[in-house]
Structure 1
C-alpha cells in the first residue's frame, strides 16, 4: 500500500512539473518527457505488469494535462512500458548505461508509435518529423534526466536499503 501511494505521488508531482514548470524552462516542443522515463525505468526494473499500470496512469494524467488527442499518451506509454518490461530479466539493473540506451530506444519507439496512432486516427502526419530537430533535442533532454529518474525508480522498487 505504501509503495502504491509513493507511485501515485511521484506521477502526480511529475505531471504537474512537466505540464506547468518545464514549459517555462525549455523552448516549446523540446521539453523532456519525464513520465516516459519513469515508465521505461519501471519496466526495466519491475517488469511489464507494473510498467503497464504505471504507463496507463502516467499516460492518462498526461492526456488530461496536455489537451492532445485523448488516449494517445495512454496507449503509447502502456505499449512502451510493456516493451521495456519484456527486458526486465535480461538486463543488469545497476548499470549506468542501461537507462541511457533504454530511453533513447524507448523515446524513438514512443514517438513513432504516437505518429502511427495519429495516422490511424486520420490525422495528417509527416513521418519525417519523427527525427526532426525538436525530437532529437527532446531526446537529449531525456538522456540528461534518465539516470536520476532511473535511480529514483530503483529506490522505489527495491527499497531504501539499495546501494545503487
Structure 2
C-alpha cells in the first residue's frame, strides 16, 4: 500500500545545514521511499495514496550507537529501541542469539563492525523506508521501519 507520511516539517537528513521543508512529506511503497517534498508535491505525484499526518518533524530514522534499552525480553528491548526513532543498531550491542533473532523479526538493521558508519544520514529515493517523527521536545512520536509503522505514541 502506498502511504504518504506528512509532518509540520521534513528533514532530508539530521546533520545537514539545510532548513527543514515546511509541510513536508515522504511517500512510501512497500519498504521503499518513492517520493519526497512538500505534501502538495507528493500528493500530486500519488493522488490515491493514504496520508498519515504527524505533528512535529519527520526525518530519517537513526542508527542507535549505544547499548540497547533495558527491558524484560529481547522483543521488548527491540521495541524500546524502535521507540527512540532508531531502526538500526551496531552489532556490538546485539550480543545474544535472542537479540539477533528479535532484531531480524523486526527488520532492524544490525551494522557489523566492518561496515563504515556513514554520516550524514538521509533519505534516498528508492532507499529503504526508515523514518522517524519527533515532537518539539525531541521525543519520538512515530517510527517507520522498512515501510511499516512500528511505533506510534498514543
What range is the shorter-chain TM-score in?
under 0.3
Greater share of helix: 1
Query: When the two structures are superposed, what TM-score results if normalisation uses the length of structure 2?
Result: 0.26
Query: When the two structures are superposed, what TM-score results if normalisation uses the length of structure 1?
Result: 0.25
